[in-house]
Amino acid sequence: MNPHLFITAFTFFILIKTFWSEKPPYILFSLSALLTLFGFLSKYGWCFDIASHFRVQYLVIQLLSGIFCVFLKRWKLFALALLCAVINFSIILPLYLPGADLENTTVQKTRNIKLLLMNVNSQNKDYKKTIEYIESIQPDILALEEINTAWIEALSGVLSKYPYYQHIPRSDNFGIGLYSKLPLEKINVKHYSSVTVPSIVANFNMAGIPFTLLLTHPVPPSSNRYYQWRNEQLKNIVKERGEFEENLIVLGDLNSTSWSYYFQDFLQGLNLRDSRKGFGLQNTWPSHLFILSIAIDHCLISNRFSVLERKIGPDIGSDHYPLYVELRLAGS
């Protein structure tokens, strides 16, 4: 048995046994407090990593628990609930603070790029909604994940508008495709982990301003082995930072929120920033279970990019919502 899972299960058993005689709100708060702490241990195991993703849910439970404690005049428990809520709030708040502007405001050249990332879900058959949203956005670069041959055939009409592309359809959930109206200098398929799920590396040059776009989709950390494979992929991408242009965009379902240790390590290792900063939560998954929704679809950017617009798209029948980002690339 996985030792991390054993420790978690044992701790939950002790906690529930201790609070069995208490009212259910106390039990729920205690679980949220425990998971708040577990989230800081995401470096040490997949179960801790999963606990790091649900900061908003913990915050809501802790605020409601605090109100409940006020009515019952349980002041010590109220203080603990407030402390836990402050911890989670302090982690969430930076997403609502203004993001960085252009690195150099006196640049001579600027170019805007419209990006659309869609994890369409290989089991989804609602092709019409996907086509309609792509046509309404008209992105310069379209990134698709979880595509198979059926998806490529269904989208052939709209994809014909993108003369530069690379796609790798698969029968599992790791087919991937990058489609561009912007001319490409080169495009390669790469594999960054032992499970050999594909990533796409594309190099562009806009009026003398080079940049690289990496589209990637690691496996979900649903077990210790998958957790290790996901982390391996993120680490190997960081090791190849020198192979990319200084101006870099990373797009994809990273199967991690920004509160995971390995996500932060990935961000810092590539010297990128999260385009979500200043735009709030913008949760993308699972689309059909709002109460558990988190942001695992990402657009990460280097300093020469600024974010003009960032929004979550509508329901397209997938378990993910689309992610639309408009960037400005500055050159000296």
> Is residue 118 a contact partner of residue 322, using CB atoms and an 8 Å limit?
yes
Whether cis (ω within 30° of 0) applies to the bond prior to 94 is no
Distances (CA, A) of 224 to 44, 49, 252, 259: 10, 10, 22, 18
Nearest to 192 by CA among 178, 211, 176, 210: 176
pLDDT tens digits, one per residue of 21-42: 455 556 778 888 889 889 999 9
pLDDT tens digits, one per residue of 93-119: 999 998 655 544 445 566 899 999 999
> Is residue 109 a contact partner of residue 132, using CB atoms and an 8 Å limit?
no
pLDDT at residue 69, rounded to an integer: 81
* Cα 41 to Cα 259: distance, rounded to the nearest angstrom: 11
* Cα 207 to Cα 279: distance, rounded to the nearest angstrom: 29
Parallel, antiparallel, or unpaired for β 273-274 and 184-191? unpaired
- Superfamily for the 103-331 domain: Endonuclease/exonuclease/phosphatase (3.60.10.10)
pLDDT tens digits, one per residue of 55-77: 999 999 999 988 888 888 877 77
The mean pLDDT of 176-184, rounded to a whole number, is: 96
Q: Which residues fall within 8 angstroms of residue 211, CB to CB, at 6 or more apart?
A: 203, 204, 205, 245, 247, 248, 249, 304, 329
Q: Quote the percentage of the chain above a pLDDT of 90.
A: 74
DSSP 243: G
Domain residue ranges of the chain, discontinuous segments joined by +: 3-95, 103-331
Parallel, antiparallel, or unpaired for β 297-301 and 248-253? antiparallel
> Is residue 247 a contact partner of residue 214, using CB atoms and an 8 Å limit?
no
pLDDT at residue 332, rounded to an integer: 55
Q: How confident is the model at residue 330 (pLDDT cuts 50, 70, 90)?
A: confident
Read off the tokens for 83: 């402390």
- Asked if pLDDT for residue 6 goes beyond 60, the answer is no
pLDDT at residue 13, rounded to an integer: 56
